[in-house]
Structure 1
């Protein structure tokens, strides 16, 4: 797979997936050039945004190894360009590359707020926490232009509906005027993703995400405002970021985080060849070692798709990571409490028909 490494981007290749037997299509002119504010200078490869019009916005799942059964993703694709992102294969659904296309050809869902209000108002709707940021980052740069995440939060706050947010962007603090009152009612928690605090590593691993120091500052701002804030060490990459685990946990605690969690790196579908190409481009001296450890964690494979073990890994390396993580969290006072999002404050939208009483 030939490398077309581009400054400021994560993937080094842009091969279109053939997993769904879709024909390659030419650009049709419907892409909108996103010239909004971004972190750093815009590289030669432009970011474009197309509008997607789904019929629903809440996605349900029945996975037994994750702590939520519904989620919202207002965007598809992510300009942060994290090479390890397990959402990259979703771009193949659109006959686009999980490589550079995933980072540069984005989709926004402008109808998301209206769809959410409609779904919350459906007869028999049962409120449970909605996870935001499970697929692509709700505070990636184009949020500064579309404000979809903010609009969704406004609706959830209005109707007393709880949610969780996972992001690696300090842009989340711009919505503290919504998040702080929600937190006071027990309706929100934020997980800040910080897999590395080394700027040089972050520059290639997640090239267009905010600087790790900015994310730690956001953890402090959220915590100071009373928002329950967690730090996600996801993923931990052996021989690349695993040596930072204790330092990240110490920094998270110093900035007010309540808890932390970690996941060993996962390489599903097209992510595996993209990750291997990234290793060859940026860490050729240890590429073989990294992949050898990953396969040892994944029962001899590059990826383990099985429930529970996919999130934990198996074998001595995975056990060592867990032990180090638990010791560091105990030392710095993290994970001492469990936080639950309230569901008893939900008031559904009335809709056009007013109640008689």
Structure 2
């Protein structure tokens, strides 16, 4: 005989954690703490009435934005480009290590799950780009796509904003570089292949790991490793110069794979390669530590100890020239391994410069057209 209680069952902390885990299934971040600019903190907890079970799973929300400008410029000494375009704010790939997560705090969102679920699409990007390229003061330099958030994240399948940007760049014969971890980039081969034949494009494919389990955990909605390698092959066979990017390298987690990643990329036709050491700016550090504790508890202390060894005892060092490579014995060893692997495999560090002499500005439009001869 089973005794009955008039009180509702109170779930254990473990039950509450499981329910919360179900809500964020398929997401990289384990939490959604308020950003550094917020005056209030919001916490989700079970009130004893199984309230967490009533909450829906985190859904992707996309807000259309009419941007005021589209080309971002920088003068950073350790970035190899001057101009970039990001068609989206936030990224559904959900990479736990993404250095762009803190930018979401400027929008009043969390760098955690909000970054992966509350996305913004710059729907007028192509129109703004065409306008910018038509101004007399514009000076052509390569434009990079995907420097902050991925231009081929899942919502690009329907939104097609990146494709519209490429159409403008192809029409004007403007040089462009692309960085992505999505096989969706091969969809635009009809644009990329002719541009490559003119020396106007190269593509970087980020291959963080060859381990499917690790990839699903730390970059849950990005293309699987095999799909990225296949994208390298397809692009290369179509004549598009491809860089395999072992980025980021995480000490004691995926760093043993460095040489295998470079070899796999080269076997599919990649011509150049690069790597970046794990970067943990601002909100990324606690999010990454939380993810480590939940997914790789036996390695967490070792990983963070090595990270701090490369960052002067801190989680992160933002100094130019240091933030991408780190310092100290471990960082030096990683750099040496990379250099040796390049020589052995036959990969180069850089592609030839993209051409800028073919650029044809789009025809200007506006009130002045009223006075143009018909």
TM-score past 0.5 threshold:
yes
Alignment of 1:294 with 2:307, yes or no, is yes
Q: Is the 8 A contact 1:199 1:212 kept in 2?
A: yes
Residue of structure 1 in register with 2:94 after alignment: 81
Alignment of 1:112 with 2:130, yes or no, is no
Report Cα offsets for 1:193-241 as digits up to 9, x if no partner.
0010110110101011011000000000000000000011110000110
Residue of structure 2 in register with 1:11 after alignment: 29
Distance 1:22 1:191 in 2: 39
SS at structure 2 position matched to 1:310 = coil
Alignment of 1:20 with 2:37, yes or no, is yes
Report Cα offsets for 1:19-76 as digits up to 9, x if no partner.
2245679xxxxxxxxxxxxxxxxx9321110112221000011101100011000001
Distance 1:219 1:327 in 2: 22
Distance 2:38 2:163 in 1: 37
Q: Is the 8 A contact 1:58 1:116 kept in 2?
A: yes
Q: Is the 8 A contact 2:273 2:350 kept in 1?
A: no
SS at structure 2 position matched to 1:311 = coil
User: Quick one: which of 153, 170, 180 aligns to 1:140?
Assistant: 153
Residue of structure 1 in register with 2:254 after alignment: 241
Distance 2:65 2:344 in 1: 46
User: Quick one: which of 173, 186, 208 aligns to 1:173?
Assistant: 186
Q: Is the 8 A contact 1:22 1:95 kept in 2?
A: no
Distance 1:291 1:62 in 2: 31
RCO greater where, 1 or 2, for CA within 8 Å and sep 6 or more? 1
Cα separation, partners in 2 of 1:332 and 1:100, compared to 1, 3 Å: same
Q: Is the 8 A contact 1:23 1:95 kept in 2?
A: no
Q: Is the 8 A contact 1:24 1:95 kept in 2?
A: no
Alignment of 1:314 with 2:331, yes or no, is no
Report Cα offsets for 1:317-347 as digits up to 9, x if no partner.
0011111111111111101764211111111
Alignment of 1:283 with 2:296, yes or no, is yes
Q: Is the 8 A contact 1:160 1:345 kept in 2?
A: yes
Cα separation, partners in 2 of 1:292 and 1:60, compared to 1, 3 Å: same
Q: Is the 8 A contact 1:10 1:81 kept in 2?
A: yes
Alignment of 1:273 with 2:286, yes or no, is yes
Cα separation, partners in 2 of 1:337 and 1:94, compared to 1, 3 Å: closer
Alignment of 1:128 with 2:146, yes or no, is no
Residue of structure 2 in register with 1:186 after alignment: 199
TM-score (normalizing by structure 2): 0.87
Q: Is the 8 A contact 1:82 1:205 kept in 2?
A: yes
Report Cα offsets for 1:104-145 as digits up to 9, x if no partner.
111101010100000111121000000100000000000011
SS at structure 1 position matched to 2:312 = coil
Distance 1:282 1:336 in 2: 33
Q: Which runs of 5+ in 2 are unaligned?
A: 1-15, 43-55
Distance 2:90 2:245 in 1: 20
State the Cα RMSD in Å: 1.8
Q: Is the 8 A contact 1:72 1:132 kept in 2?
A: yes
The number of aligned residues is 338
Q: For 1:64-75, what aligned pairs fall within 5 Å after superposition? A: 64-75=77-88
Residue of structure 2 in register with 1:55 after alignment: 68
SS at structure 1 position matched to 2:231 = helix
SS at structure 1 position matched to 2:324 = helix
SS at structure 1 position matched to 2:276 = strand
Cα separation, partners in 2 of 1:337 and 1:308, compared to 1, 3 Å: closer
Residue of structure 2 in register with 1:163 after alignment: 176
